[in-house]
């Protein structure tokens, strides 16, 4: 076996080990991540990023970040910048190896000329409809046997801008009866009089993705072109094009895509969701994009861990979204401070507590990590607690507040509910009157007081208002695009976003955008991009437990 023996369950590593043993590529491992800059990266791209960069790192190789920017109509610098930001956020760096397919337009053009001169490509004036019919019938185009001179002349006219969009295309001359339809004389170049985000108006013909993709890999000296299984059927075309011009031949290796339930990753459909207002842009926290996940509070480590748990194979599978949420919780549990926030406030008046007194309670930021230290919390006569922590007629196993019942306030005192006030019109309880036990301050001996429950709270006069955005899954169906007769938009969850005003402890007043915390007993939250010192905004990242599974039992 090779000295580079890695994970035997990873078939990609087994193939590379075999290459190294045979001396193929001189034992060099050079991969690439080649996104199209026509949208933002999503969770499926995260798998491709982790595999391409991760494999190269394991073998001491290198990875290029290359933008396959061959369609000026759909591509934009905004997407280029967003993709670079996402790759770095995920934890990977291409260093000085940033490339664009548009860097190679001149070389692509020369390759196309070589194909024409050798009788392996021709200019076709047929309509798209005619070409489709002929492909289905295995019928050669009437333009297939044009002379080399005619094809060179027409291709020059395409390049010079003499012809309108759609007038003609350059096609490869392969086999119109091939079992693999992609080999049935595929289109290589088309006319597009559109401004390119990098080359401007220098070109009015652009290579098709399949034409440029394999050549780009070859030009960059890529050894292992790692991609999802959908490109397996394209591999014979990449091989044919590379062999036809006799240049470096990378090894393409396909792996299964990352499919997650309750999620769609089609860029076209994600754009549609934005267009119809179902979400508020590419970075909406409900979106499966990396920018959306970052804004929601997901961590790079949790996403990488999720990708690792999902595994690398050639078998198509659907991964449960709950696994990703578990990975997020696991990471945030270790790294976030516990703070107090009351999402559904109910006022509590401690009738025997001095009216003008304020005490400072000490709270531990993270019981599992002493290095995170402590913070101070003001305590006063009037407090807010969660409405759900009181019941007028509680069952026996309800260990929170009820008439005559006791509870401990986290980091504070034990209190007992003596009375409550109801709104005469609605019957809603608006205020609790409680007694506090001065000798029961946190840390004191309270063996004489039988208390089973502990609840969180904030001081009324010190609490800050905060907008809290509660996110649920964007779709109500596990496979929203898996129904032939039902449009996926029919499964959009109308309750995927709920906005409330909460009361939060004053220590959060200076929390910076992106700060991640655990709202004690409620879940993990982060400070949103919209947050300001005068208007705090928090996003729900994840509940403390898999509440969705419990809700849908």
pLDDT in single tens digits along all 553 residues of the chain:
334 444 445 899 999 999 999 999 999 999 999 999 999 999 999 999 999 999 999 999 999 999 999 999 999 999 999 999 999 999 999 999 999 999 999 999 999 999 999 999 999 999 999 999 999 999 999 999 999 999 999 999 999 999 999 999 999 999 999 999 999 999 999 999 999 999 999 999 999 999 999 999 999 999 999 999 999 999 999 999 999 999 999 999 999 999 999 999 999 999 999 999 999 999 999 999 999 999 999 999 999 999 999 999 999 889 999 999 999 999 999 999 999 999 999 999 999 999 999 999 999 999 999 999 999 999 999 999 999 999 999 998 999 999 999 999 999 999 999 999 999 999 999 999 999 999 998 777 777 788 999 999 999 999 999 999 999 999 999 999 999 999 999 999 999 999 999 999 999 999 999 999 999 999 999 999 999 999 999 999 999 987 655 555 5
Q: Give the residue among 358, 342, 334 at the shortest CA–CA distance from 508.
A: 342
504-535 b/e with 16+ CB inside 10 Å = b? Answer: bbbbbeebeeebbbbbbbbbbbbbbeebeeee
**pLDDT score of 442:** 76
**pLDDT score of 2:** 38
User: Range(s) for CATH 2.40.240.10 in the chain?
Assistant: 267-337+467-551, 341-456
> Residue written as tokens 């899954």?
473
Q: What is the DSSP string of 118-184?
A: TTSEEEE---HHHHHHHHHHT---TTTT--HHHHHHHHHHHHHT-S-TTS-EEEE-S-TT-SSGGGS
Q: Which fold has domain 11-255?
A: Rossmann fold (3.40.50)
Contact (CB, 8 A) for 495 and 475: no
**pLDDT score of 446:** 74
User: Range(s) for CATH 3.40.50.620 in the chain?
Assistant: 11-255
**pLDDT score of 448:** 78
Phi, psi at residue 351, to the nearest 5°?
Answer: -65, -25
Catalytic residues: 36, 257, 267
**pLDDT score of 546:** 79
Which 3 state secondary structure label does DSSP give 383?
strand
Q: Which CATH superfamily is domain 267-337+467-551 in?
A: Ribosomal Protein L25; Chain P (2.40.240.10)
What strand order describes the sheet that includes 414-422? Answer: 454-455, 406-409, 414-422, 429-436, 345-350, 382-386, 458-459
Q: Give the residue among 69, 59, 146 at the shortest CA–CA distance from 105.
A: 69
Burial class, 553, CB count within 10 angstroms (exposed 0-12 / middle 13-18 / buried 19+): exposed
Contacts of 83 (CB under 8 A, 6+ apart): 35, 37, 40, 41, 67
What strand order describes the sheet that includes 337-339? Answer: 337-339, 516-519, 523-527, 536-543, 464-471, 497-504, 341-342
Helix, strand, coil distribution of the chain in percent, nearest 5: 35, 25, 40
pTM: 0.93
Q: Which CATH superfamily is domain 341-456 in?
A: Ribosomal Protein L25; Chain P (2.40.240.10)
């Amino acid at each position: 076996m090779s000295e580079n023996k890695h994970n035997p369950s990873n078939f990609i590593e087994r193939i590379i080990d075999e290459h190294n043993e045979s001396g193929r590529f001189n034992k060099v491992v050079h991969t690439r991540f080649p996104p199209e800059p026509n949208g933002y990266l999503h969770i499926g791209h995260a798998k491709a990023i982790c595999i391409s960069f991760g494999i190269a790192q394991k073998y001491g190789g290198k990875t290029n970040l290359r933008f396959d920017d061959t369609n000026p109509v759909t591509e934009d610098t905004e997407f280029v910048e967003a993709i670079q930001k996402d790759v770095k956020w995920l934890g990977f760096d291409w260093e000085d190896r940033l490339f664009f397919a548009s860097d190679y337009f001149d070389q692509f053009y020369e390759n196309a000329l070589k194909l024409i001169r050798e009788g392996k490509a021709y200019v076709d004036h047929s309509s798209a409809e005619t070409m489709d019919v002929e492909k289905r019938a295995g019928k050669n185009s009437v333009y297939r046997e044009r002379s080399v001179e005619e094809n060179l002349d027409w291709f020059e006219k395409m390049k010079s801008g003499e012809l309108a969009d759609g007038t003609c295309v350059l096609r490869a001359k392969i086999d119109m009866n091939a079992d693999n339809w992609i080999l049935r004389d595929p289109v290589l170049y088309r006319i597009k009089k559109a401004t390119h985000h990098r080359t401007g108006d220098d070109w009015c013909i652009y290579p098709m993705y399949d034409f440029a993709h394999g050549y780009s890999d070859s030009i960059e000296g890529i050894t292992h072109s790692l991609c999802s299984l959908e490109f397996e059927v394209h591999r014979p075309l990449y091989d044919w094009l590379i062999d036809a011009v006799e240049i470096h031949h990378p090894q393409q290796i396909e792996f299964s895509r990352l499919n997650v339930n309750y999620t769609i990753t089609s860029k076209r459909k994600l754009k549609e969701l934005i267009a119809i207002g179902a979400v508020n842009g590419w970075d909406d926290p409900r979106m499966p994009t990396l920018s959306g996940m970052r804004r929601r509070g997901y961590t790079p480590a949790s996403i990488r861990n999720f990708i690792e748990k999902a595994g690398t194979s050639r078998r198509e599978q659907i991964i449960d979204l709950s696994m990703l949420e578990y990975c997020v919780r696991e990471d945030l549990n270790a790294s976030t401070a516990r703070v107090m926030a009351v999402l559904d406030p109910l006022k509590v008046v401690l009738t025997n507590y001095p009216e003008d007194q304020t005490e400072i309670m000490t709270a531990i930021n993270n019981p599992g990590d002493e290095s995170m230290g402590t913070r101070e919390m003001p305590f006063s006569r009037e407090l807010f607690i969660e409405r759900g922590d009181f019941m007028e007629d509680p069952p026996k196993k309800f260990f929170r507040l009820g008439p005559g019942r006791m509870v401990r306030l986290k980091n504070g005192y034990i209190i007992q509910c003596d009375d409550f006030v109801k709104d005469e019109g609605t019957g809603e309880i608006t205020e609790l009157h409680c007694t506090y036990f001065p000798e029961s301050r946190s840390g004191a001996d309270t063996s004489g007081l039988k208390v089973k429950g502990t609840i969180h709270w904030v001081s009324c006069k010190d609490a800050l208002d905060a907008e809290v955005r509660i996110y649920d899954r964007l779709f109500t169906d596990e496979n929203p695009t898996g129904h032939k007769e039902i449009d996926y938009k029919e499964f959009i969850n109308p309750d995927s976003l709920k906005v409330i005003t909460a009361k939060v402890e004053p220590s959060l007043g200076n929390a910076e955008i992106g700060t991640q915390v655990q709202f004690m007993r409620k879940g993990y939250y982060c400070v949103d991009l919209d947050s300001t010192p005068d208007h705090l905004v928090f996003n729900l990242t994840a509940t403390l437990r898999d509440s969705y599974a419990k809700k849908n039992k």
